[in-house]
Amino acid sequence: MLASPAMRVARELWSPLGAALALTAAVLFFGGHTLPWIGAAVVLVAAVLVASRGIPPGAWLVLPLAVLAVWCAVSIAWSIEPDRTWDYANQTAVYAAFAFVGTYLAGRTGGLATGFAALLGAVCVWSLAGKVFPFLYEDYGTIARLRGPVGYWNALALLGDFAIPLGLWLASRKRVAGTLLVFGWAVAIALTLSRGGILVALLVAAAWLLLSGLWLQGLATLVAACVPAAAVIGLAFSLHGITSDGTSHATRVHDGLLFGAALVVGATVAAVLARFPPPEPVPAVRRMARVLAIVFAAAVCLIGGFHAKAWWDQFTAPASSELGNGPGRIVEANSNHRWIWWKQAWDGLQGHELAGTGAGSFAFTNLRYRTTDLDTTTEPHDLPVQFLTETGVIGLVLFLLVGFVLIRSVRSPTDPELALSLVLPAFLVHGLLDFDWDFAAVAAPAFLVAGALVSRPIPRPSFSFSGTLVAAGVALLLLSSLGAIWLGGRWSGEAENELGSNPTHAAQLARKARSVQPLSIDPLQAEALAEEVQAFGARGKQRRKHFGAELGLLQNETNQQPYNSEAWFNLGYFDLVIRHCPRAALPAFNRFTTLNPQDPGNVYYTQALKQVNSGKPIC
């Protein structure tokens, strides 16, 4: 009996491919905010797949990524920022789970490519809609660079880099659909104003043309998509409501309608051009293509040779201000602090060469070594440098091994697999200039696709008791780790909200948060503030008791995270402002200025030092 279309659709939705695409959709649209939930979902899916289907051949190729996650977790033991290290270990483990789920898609890469292209198309439409309808993304009134739904413009541009080869592949089967995907993302990448995103887009398009054998069709698609896209981009750059920061809502509404109309017209033109068949690859066309390629390569080399030194000087120059967010930034060679961050990472590595300072801990390194207050960041914007400074030589080797194994192990690709095989290289190349590991919306799909390309189909799905037991144990461990951080953050936030109305309950919530997230100082700070609020409402011995408890909690902050400048500032501020004891405050503020010399809070150090040197300190 033949299955009905509805039954086939339902079966596909419950298949590994359906689960993988559902997880990908969730992480694309919500990965910047709800990783614990998405992480829990992918861990559960992986455990169910192991129990019901066994482990696919080639799944061991994901092992280096899992080992990297374990090494990140181990680095908690010596991390200068252990709570963020814990979170980073969780994040890396979730990426390993995505890659493992991807190994069940061997033999379904055509469906994966089609589904992933459709999801990226949806992301592009939603992202551009935020410019057409300003109420969808009000924050564009502050900074105009395109970034929704990911939340970060460079990460959104990287999704466009994933989409370009998929669009070129899709155009070889469905020309209009593939051309529209390339058209939409060409406009979106340009509006992110991401120089790295534009560069990687050019590289993956060139790679597809060189490797696919469909170079003529690919060029025809690029012309059909990019000619109208260039016109739309030119209009967008002339509209203040689309590409200028700080514009009013009324301006964005007016210019958004013009931009929306241009998008519709441009998409229509692209669709019409896509219907023209590409020229036949006759010898004359091949010769012309070779000549144009040689001329283009010579022009690039010539221009690069003339400007290389000037570009290098701009890239390495100390930045005295932020690079502007206008369209002019696209042609700038300034590294926008990256060169400085890389040097800070090297300084932070000294004395920690083998094991690093702890996964995800660069924020503390940046605060310690920065020379201005303009270049504050959480990561050095280069993944190899990041893993070197945070996880040491061992972590860097593991990171490089992950990329090498996953790229090297891709089997001889078909057309859809070739398009998918460019996803992870695009991620890694873009990661030379950014901190893409922090964004599940780009990292998780990249590793899922990589897992699908290195595995082999399961000959016969079978139940394995031992495999199920191991998968259940690993899943329980990861779910507990994800849940602990989520609960700790939630209870800490609730404690802060309760400070003004019910400080006793706030202290209880803070203690609950500390019980599940003992590596963070946030619960300690919330409980300390609760004690302070209660102290101001008490008298005599009871008041001294609350202040004593607050002092003990603040000292625990510095003991728990001795490299956290905020912890030392909290202790110094309490001693100076609450206890009126500059002698006690001075050592804490001295440590604070060492760890964060550019912070404006250093005026308190000057104030405490002046009082101590006056010879008449209060205590």
- 431-473 pLDDT tens trace: 999 999 999 999 999 999 999 999 887 777 666 777 788 889 9
Whether the per-residue pLDDT at 7 is higher than 60: the answer is no
- When pLDDT is averaged across residues 29-34 and rounded to a whole number, the result is 73
The helix or strand, by DSSP H or E, that contains position 426, with its residue range, turns out to be helix 423-430
- 591/558 Cα distance (integer angstroms): 10
Kindly indicate the confidence band of residue 70, based on its pLDDT and cuts at 50, 70 and 90. very high
Give the tens place of pLDDT for each residue, 531-574. 999 988 888 888 899 899 999 999 999 999 999 999 999 999 99
**For position 8, what pLDDT does the model report?**
52
- 321/548 Cα distance (integer angstroms): 44
Give the tens place of pLDDT for each residue, 383-407. 999 999 999 999 999 999 999 999 9
Closest CA to 367 of 567, 141, 213, 150: 567
**For position 285, what pLDDT does the model report?**
63
Two structure tokens written together for 71: 């090494």
Give the tens place of pLDDT for each residue, 267-323. 999 999 999 887 776 676 667 767 777 777 787 788 777 767 777 777 877 766 677
Say what percent of the chain tops pLDDT 90.
70
Q: How far is CA 204 from CA 155, 197, 207, 460, in A?
A: 16, 11, 5, 36
Closest CA to 49 of 62, 67, 33, 30: 62
**For position 1, what pLDDT does the model report?**
42
State yes or no: cis peptide before 149, omega within 30 of 0.
Answer: yes
The helix or strand, by DSSP H or E, that contains position 597, with its residue range, turns out to be none
Rounded to a whole number of angstroms, the distance between the first and last alpha carbons of the chain is: 90
**For position 535, what pLDDT does the model report?**
87
Q: Which residues lie below 8 Å from residue 359, measured CB to CB, with a gap of 6+?
A: 71, 72, 75, 79, 84, 85, 88, 89, 92, 390, 391, 395
- When pLDDT is averaged across residues 107-121 and rounded to a whole number, the result is 95
Identify the three-state secondary structure at position 393. helix
Identify the three-state secondary structure at position 148. coil
Give the tens place of pLDDT for each residue, 487-501. 999 999 999 999 988
Q: Which residues lie below 8 Å from residue 70, measured CB to CB, with a gap of 6+?
A: 89
68: amino acid identity, one letter: L
- 312/305 Cα distance (integer angstroms): 11
Q: Which residues lie below 8 Å from residue 85, measured CB to CB, with a gap of 6+?
A: 72, 73, 75, 76, 79, 358, 359, 360, 361, 519
Q: How far is CA 470 from CA 36, 186, 473, in A?
A: 21, 45, 5
Of 264-273, 369-378, 526-535, least confident by mean pLDDT is 369-378
- 341/370 Cα distance (integer angstroms): 8
User: Are 387 and 342 in contact, with CB atoms under 8 Å apart?
Assistant: no
Two structure tokens written together for 562: 């001795």
Two structure tokens written together for 339: 């060169």
Kindly indicate the confidence band of residue 137, based on its pLDDT and cuts at 50, 70 and 90. confident
Kindly indicate the confidence band of residue 596, based on its pLDDT and cuts at 50, 70 and 90. very high
State the average pLDDT for the chain.
90
